[in-house]
Amino acid sequence: MTASAPKFMAINRSKIWMQVADQIKEMIDREEFAPGEKLPSERELCEQFGVSRMSIREALRKLQADSYIDVRSGLGTFVVEANKRSVARLSDWLDTHVDSLKKLIELRMAIEPGIAELAAAKASEQDVAALRQHAEALADVDTDQASSTDAAFHLELASITKNSMIEQIVEEILDATHDLRRVTLKDRDHMRLASGGHLGVVEAIARQDPDGAAAAMRRHLTDARTSLLNAETEEKT
């Protein structure tokens, strides 16, 4: 920490440790403390914040639990890289958004099986090949491309219906469910599960089986709901 670094703001007396934690967290997010940088000692933090060592220790425990810092015995406290904080930050976000995500899955359950059913009645061989390509790609792309690859499959499916109103609705659903995909496609295992669900839809469409396509889409969305519920359970434990 250099001498020219911005000073901490004064703390009011309610929930002191939480305010300390929030202020340090904001500075880390703004990279006023760089990844890997060592934080000031507890004594220095006490002096700069004007609070007790107990408050500082509580704040540091919170930051460590949230994966913002790494406390190394005998060495000090260091800022964790942003990509290693993503799981903890997702957990915080999920805590306040999970009900909305569940409603979005209910919306998809009400609409997307019907889209798959209609696509099965209209798809050409070229349409099936394009769908299959999107479905297979989801198992192999980098995790930061998972959401867009998943969206491409559902957009392709909507386009097969040759119904501009359906395409518009699906585009709006995909915009609304970006954060849902962030949860349900969070790692390689979940991406492969979703890829398998997509392929189930593709196979039914290739057979020109509307009922099978609708059922496969329901299974795929059920998997997404299960992934969300599992993430909620993990967040609470």
In the predicted model, what is the mean pLDDT of the chain?
Answer: 85
Positions in the chain short of pLDDT 70: 1-14, 83-97, 232-237
Instruction: For residues 96 and 65, give the distance between their C-alpha atoms in angstroms, rounded to a whole number.
Output: 18
Q: What distance, in Å, lies between the first and last C-alpha atoms of the chain?
A: 35
Strand segments (E) across the chain: 69-72, 76-79
Query: Which candidate, 157, 144, 125, 126, places its Cα nearest to that of 221?
Result: 157
pLDDT at 13: 47
CA angle 133-115-130, nearest 5°?
A: 15
Instruction: For residues 105 and 230, give the distance between their C-alpha atoms in angstroms, rounded to a whole number.
Output: 14
pLDDT in tens, 174-187: 877 777 787 788 88
Instruction: For residues 38 and 74, give the distance between their C-alpha atoms in angstroms, rounded to a whole number.
Output: 12
8: CB partners within 8 A, 6+ apart = 23, 48, 49
pLDDT in tens, 106-128: 999 999 999 999 999 999 999 99
Structural domains of the chain ordered from first start: 16-80 (1.10.10.10), 85-236 (1.20.120.530)
Provide the 10 A C-beta neighbour count for residue 145. 15
